[in-house]
Structure 1
């Protein structure tokens, strides 16, 4: 081979060139800032203005928080400790945290009962929220409402057992009748459960709570953030199946069922929740037999559940309307009856589409539980506005208490929102 021809042959490297790190402007924090904060002149100006606004907010707030007093017995003692300097009086939280969480009447030596019920709530909700867990855990989920009722209220264990028996009988009647007609199965199950509860209430002997394992706590002694959690969890759990039934009833081919659902939904959605709470406090007891004493907590749960179920029904109806007609025809071509088609084909898709709307209603409902303070139920806001601010020791402490309440509600609502976004991504609700 000639020397000229040898120079024409390309050189082939026998080893890899060591990798070099990417330039600083193409990765890491610099890249993120260029793409998100300084992508254009307009974005750069808005970023600088936002940083300045955050500075204006934090410059007086952070010293006030960091200089806060956590140990004092009154507002005047806090001011003496601060000696004229700016600082928060967080001592009201360390002094009154049991009242903020449990109310001022719940027995102090029984705080472990609602705390245990709150911890068990996560175990019971796990198989429902995260469907990769073993299905056997759903047994505990079904038993949890009755266990939590007994833990929080105490008294005889016969009451939650009677409630469980009524639900079991109602479920069996529903399974027998739903194959022929969904409405008949749904209302038949409710009637069967009510019959069992009525007959069982007569059989429970008077004074059965006297020898109970857990001392009975009246509902009027419930309060604080515990009351908000109980109302929120109970009403959301009940309003979802009722909302599904109302949405299906509004689309029913039976005129009577359809118009009952339409009138109920439109009437409830046209009335403010605070009006329904006043009805629950004053008038709802007149709709029950004269000898019955319906607890105020139960009346409030009924009204809030009715209110939220009407809104959830419209959300789910929108999800049903978003499905193409071919899904219904596919169910008919498979020979499925109405209940099977709704359970296996229609409702799973409609509920996936309706997740954002359902979560929006749930978050709004949880925040609206603070309205019960207007009917003399001492929830978290009621405790702040009532016994705590009315006391001479802490009269004048506002930002610390209201900020604590806002933080608790933000944590719960933000957690619900983040879970819904995870669920949407997991179920691919955009149908890509």
Structure 2
């Protein structure tokens, strides 16, 4: 071929005469096979770990399922049903033992004819808790007031019994009067002791200090005069219980309105007392109250839930107050918060329970006593509050300083800045840590059995002494039953915390 006086070699063109072979299908990226391939068999290391994990599950879960379900005994009235027969049949879990002792596990030694009171408390708690946990249901303010304010009062009178005539104010005024009288008496004794030392400088100083302490005690007693009058009015009044309830509601709602200046909060307070009045009318508490059931008769799951829920709810405000106090600019408040947190974190919970049960009455005023369950609740709340304080302080440190500075620039006060801007962000950061503390507290309630309060695990251990159910598998069945209950509650708390965390951090998802 010649082009412009030259020649160009022409390469013969290649033309395919058959179809191209089909390519292999692409590797699937979705579905069960793809998940197994990429999650379990993606590399030699993954394959090895998968095999080891499968062997561990086989040697742990398989015997557990066999013991709890396959070889388990489901019917029977005594220990004979859970004993191996002459053939040598393997006997697994003895579930008739759990069915026979279920009432003891749930209620302890609560009188059987009064169990409806415990069931009613559980029902009220569930009815108020479920709407509080579902974000789409409205009326959270009223629901929270009913759950955190009204339910504890109603639950106490349902579980403990007795009348309600002036109980709360009488108990509070008695405690405050006893404490103030003890302060005044200590001041008078210090004055007499200091005056008898005979040292010129120290004697006058101690006498003056004793006089000041006695004056403080007497002044506090004078400040309690209105409450004392209210207590005596409620105690000596011949009016029905509705008069006492209306008087108490009026005083508390007036305080709420004076402190918050919010009509909504006052209306919520009135709604709480309206709910209490409805329960009083339904149960007939205005006619003398229910039979008293002492806390020593409580037990089982009832004690576990009472201690854990009270500790969780009460420890949150304690922890927030201590966390803010540790970051305070006032040296006295900061020092008190640090000492309080380090002290309660430095002692084990067993020591706290022993102190609250056996030594706390020694420090109380003479003639004034506190119920054993109340001592445990106070100790658990303070102990858990110290731990939550450090968790919340970590969340406060994670909030940028510019958030508070911007709120200050807008003219917000310290409390509004903390309550509306800083604290919500801090709590959002520490949801995993707080829920971890709640789960630990729920499991640590088993320690109350060392102070003669039998929770679920304590009742379980007490039931092993029954000779009618003494079999080789009874012990393992009981602990398996308790483990399933604890796992169900703890797993539910962890999953709900993940839901809340994802909902609050939805703006961070890309």
Q: Flag whether TM exceeds 0.5 (same fold).
A: yes
Structure 1 262/393 Cα, relative in aligned 2: closer, same or farther at 3 Å?
Answer: same
| In structure 1, distance between residues paired with 2:232 and 2:482 | 39
Q: Which residue of 2 aligns with 1:218?
A: 294
| In structure 1, distance between residues paired with 2:361 and 2:45 | 61
Shift of the alpha carbon at 1:160? 6.9
The CA deviation string for residues 139-193 of structure 1, in whole angstroms up to 9 with x for no partner, is 4223112122222222213367759999xxxxxxxxxxxxxxxxxxxxxxxxx99
Q: Is it true that 1:389 corresponds to 2:473 in the alignment?
A: no
Q: Is it true that 1:428 corresponds to 2:505 in the alignment?
A: yes
Q: Is it true that 1:98 corresponds to 2:103 in the alignment?
A: yes
Aligned partner (choices 147, 153, 160) of residue 153 of structure 1: 160
Q: Which residue of 1 aligns with 2:187?
A: none
Equivalent residues of 1:151, 1:214 under 8 A apart: yes
Q: Which residue of 1 aligns with 2:30?
A: 27
- Counterparts of 1:58-73 in structure 2, within 5 Å, are 58-65=61-68, 66-73=70-77
Q: Which residue of 2 aligns with 1:9?
A: none
Q: How many residues align?
A: 383
| In structure 1, distance between residues paired with 2:348 and 2:291 | 37
Structure 1 57/223 Cα, relative in aligned 2: closer, same or farther at 3 Å?
Answer: same
Structure 1 228/69 Cα, relative in aligned 2: closer, same or farther at 3 Å?
Answer: same
Equivalent residues of 2:165, 2:234 under 8 A apart: no
Equivalent residues of 1:147, 1:160 under 8 A apart: no
Q: Is it true that 1:42 corresponds to 2:45 in the alignment?
A: yes
Equivalent residues of 1:150, 1:157 under 8 A apart: yes
Shift of the alpha carbon at 1:38? 1.7
Shift of the alpha carbon at 1:132? 3.4
| In structure 2, distance between residues paired with 1:194 and 1:37 | 74
Q: Which residue of 2 aligns with 1:234?
A: 310
The CA deviation string for residues 239-259 of structure 1, in whole angstroms up to 9 with x for no partner, is 001110111111112221111
Q: Is it true that 1:85 corresponds to 2:89 in the alignment?
A: yes
Q: Is it true that 1:262 corresponds to 2:269 in the alignment?
A: no
Q: Is it true that 1:408 corresponds to 2:413 in the alignment?
A: no
Greater radius of gyration (CA)? 2
Q: Which residue of 1 aligns with 2:78?
A: 74
Structure 1 123/200 Cα, relative in aligned 2: closer, same or farther at 3 Å?
Answer: farther
Structure 1 353/290 Cα, relative in aligned 2: closer, same or farther at 3 Å?
Answer: same
- Counterparts of 1:309-320 in structure 2, within 5 Å, are 309-320=385-396
Q: Is it true that 1:140 corresponds to 2:146 in the alignment?
A: yes
Q: Is it true that 1:325 corresponds to 2:401 in the alignment?
A: yes
The CA deviation string for residues 320-358 of structure 1, in whole angstroms up to 9 with x for no partner, is 111111111111101111111111111110111111111
Shift of the alpha carbon at 1:196? 5.3
Equivalent residues of 1:146, 1:164 under 8 A apart: no
Shift of the alpha carbon at 1:58? 3.6
How large is the RMSD of aligned CA atoms in angstroms? 3.0
Equivalent residues of 2:446, 2:458 under 8 A apart: yes
Shift of the alpha carbon at 1:29? 1.2
Q: Which residue of 2 aligns with 1:335?
A: 411
Structure 1 72/127 Cα, relative in aligned 2: closer, same or farther at 3 Å?
Answer: closer
Q: Which residue of 2 aligns with 1:181?
A: none
| In structure 2, distance between residues paired with 1:356 and 1:150 | 35
Shift of the alpha carbon at 1:291? 1.2
Equivalent residues of 1:352, 1:429 under 8 A apart: no
Equivalent residues of 2:73, 2:81 under 8 A apart: no
| In structure 2, distance between residues paired with 1:254 and 1:31 | 60
Structure 1 219/337 Cα, relative in aligned 2: closer, same or farther at 3 Å?
Answer: same
Q: Which residue of 2 aligns with 1:347?
A: 423
Segments of 5+ residues of structure 2 without an aligned counterpart are 1-24, 174-222, 242-284
| In structure 2, distance between residues paired with 1:202 and 1:313 | 40
Structure 1 30/132 Cα, relative in aligned 2: closer, same or farther at 3 Å?
Answer: same
Shift of the alpha carbon at 1:211? 5.2
- Counterparts of 1:88-127 in structure 2, within 5 Å, are 88-103=93-108, 105-127=109-131
Segments of 5+ residues of structure 1 without an aligned counterpart are 1-21, 167-191
Q: TM-score, normalised by structure 2?
A: 0.69
Structure 1 64/109 Cα, relative in aligned 2: closer, same or farther at 3 Å?
Answer: same
Shift of the alpha carbon at 1:195? 8.5
Shift of the alpha carbon at 1:80? 5.4
Structure 1 124/53 Cα, relative in aligned 2: closer, same or farther at 3 Å?
Answer: same
3-state SS of 2:393 partner: helix
3-state SS of 1:71 partner: coil
Equivalent residues of 2:446, 2:457 under 8 A apart: yes
